[in-house]
Amino acid sequence: MCGIMAYIGKKQATPILLNGLRRLEYRGYDSAGLAVLQNDNLVRFRAIGKVDNLSEKIKNEKLNSTIGIAHTRWATHGGVTENNTHPHSGCDDKLMIVHNGIIENYREIKKELGDHKITSETDTEILAHLIEKNFSGDLKDAVVKSLLLVRGTYGLVAIHAKEPKKMVAARLGSPLVIGIGDEEYFLASDASPILPYTKQVVFLNDGEVAEITENSLQIYNLKDQKVKKKIEELDWNEEQAQKQGFPHFMLKEIFDQPTVFEDAIAGRINFEEGTAVLGGLNMTPEQMKSINRIILIACGTASYAGQVGKFAFERLAGIPTDVEIASEFRYKDPIVDEHTLVFGISQSGETADTLAALREAKRKGAYIRGIINVVGSTIARETDGGTYIHAGPELAVASTKAYTNMVAILILYAIQFGRNNKLSLATGQRLISAIKEIPEKMNLILKQNDKIKEIALKYKEYRDFYFLGRGINYPVALEGSLKLKEISYIHSEAYPGGEMKHGPISLLDEDFPVFAIATKNQLYEKMVSNITEAKARKAKIIVLATEGDEEIKHLTEGVIYVPPTMELLEPLLNTLPLQLFAYYITVALGKDVDRPRNLAKSVTVE
């Protein structure tokens, strides 16, 4: 997740910019850069890797500037190269910008730029050239004119050598905070880099543009109307600032999901063709057609995402798919060949078991690809392609947003293979349309936060739980059960609803609650029957149901409703209430939500 830091005032800008970038390192990044005004010209420095590499690069430079912008980049458009690193400039280096977000129509804008010289693969550089094209002496006007032509999201800061005492910032969908000092201003992606200097801040809202000098701040909307903003006092320490006001990283990351889901699918779906476009697959259509088996290798939460992927690949593409626990795969003499595609799924990209399994599959001739979150990780380097899930850094040990983005990417891959095989255009388009609605529906679920908390608190004293689901929702039950046990230490198990009567039902009584996932799909009636069986054994029942299902209320002590979606996409919505349920029980029990005992975020040993 990219980070922005900017400064204008009377102090030396470079140390402030570097310190701000270091405070943004928790967000995750692969490169860093800064630009400052030096002798009436903008000078830029960029480096691959850590902020320390950037610092080393400029340590002998005699920089004397009181205005500058800086950025840590998490690669989206274009690889991890110095040319792709921010800040980006126009043709003559008089203008430079840093930018978070995605410019969806950058290809269209690029065509309109004519003979502008483009030197990177990024969408951000296209935006820089557009602002340069529209500049006629007033940077704010140029930014506003340009943003009116843009589709996508942005948090950006721009500076121009011809207006050396001004910077302009704008936001749509990507946060920006302005810190107010004594004849100085600080801009950042979140409050953590600003806290050492001031606690007086202004938060830009979507569609707002800030024009800033060392002694003035004026906010406008995109209609060029002035906007009055309230100056707020931060009551955060540094860690709280990183949490953006949430009490725990886990809760923040649960609420991140609508945004990072959009990042995961951006530029990867094509409605007209009813397909997904995941270029990192690095396979020709003919090679894709040669695949007669897919293996999804993962551990823990990632393996449950893989189980959703199995449904998707088999249903949409007609390709037999297996989900293998990474720690077991290479010890069972797996049968793979040149017609097998193996995906390693890992948030960190460093999971030792998954990496070892991928190496074994590669030795046996399979195609190996990665579905990971961390740019430049070992799995990213050792596989022959794959896809970054763009969930941003997960600082809580228990995975939330990485899980939903893994599911998203697996479904996109299944659509891509399906359209290359047997999936109709109409079905592909229906899926793409439904996928685009997911972020909005996630937000509707998150608005039920207080109700889910209320239900969770009623069950904090129970020491055993069952989670039940059928079909596509059985992996959701597995993930909900895992979340509860790993952070609250409550014993929890998950079963397919129909499997209860084959043994597990013997444990049920009034002290053994059941959380049942019973959204309206082809297995709904059978799931209702399974719930009835559990209720007959006096178990207390919580149900996750589809909006409008009033009949199911008589079976439950608590019901949580989710918006309807296509059956294959239900895990993208149904998982969120289970995450919140586990979170609020854990908080009520006084456990360490973000760092549960005995667990690590990245398991790098077998």
Q: Across 315-409, where does the E strand assignment appear?
A: 321-325, 340-346, 367-372, 386-388
The burial of 268, by beta-carbon neighbours within 10 Å (0-12 exposed, 13-18 middle, 19 or more buried), is given as buried
Residues 6+ apart with CB under 8 A from 556: 516, 531, 541, 542, 543
- Annotation marks residue 91 as catalytic: no
Q: Which residue has the tokens 């190269």?
A: 81
Partnered with residue 32 across adjacent β-strands are: 47, 72
b/e map of 415-438 (b: 16 or more CB within 10 Å)? bbbbbbeebeeebbbebbebbeeb
3-state secondary structure of 592: coil
User: Rounded CA gap, 514 and 539, in Å?
Assistant: 7
Task: Answer for the pair 212, 169: CB distance below 8 angstroms, yes or no.
Answer: yes
- Annotation marks residue 299 as catalytic: no
Residues 6+ apart with CB under 8 A from 317: 414, 417, 418, 420, 421, 422, 423
User: Could you say which of 2, 243, 483, 540 is catalytic?
Assistant: 2
User: Rounded CA gap, 239 and 9, in Å?
Assistant: 26
User: Rounded CA gap, 393 and 311, in Å?
Assistant: 28
Q: How many CB atoms lie under 10 A from the CB of residue 513?
A: 21
Q: Say whether the peptide bond before residue 87 is cis (omega within 30 degrees of 0).
A: yes
In this structure, what DSSP letter does residue 423 have? -
Task: Answer for the pair 390, 264: CB distance below 8 angstroms, yes or no.
Answer: yes
User: Rounded CA gap, 22 and 307, in Å?
Assistant: 38
Q: Which residues does the annotation mark as catalytic?
A: 2, 601
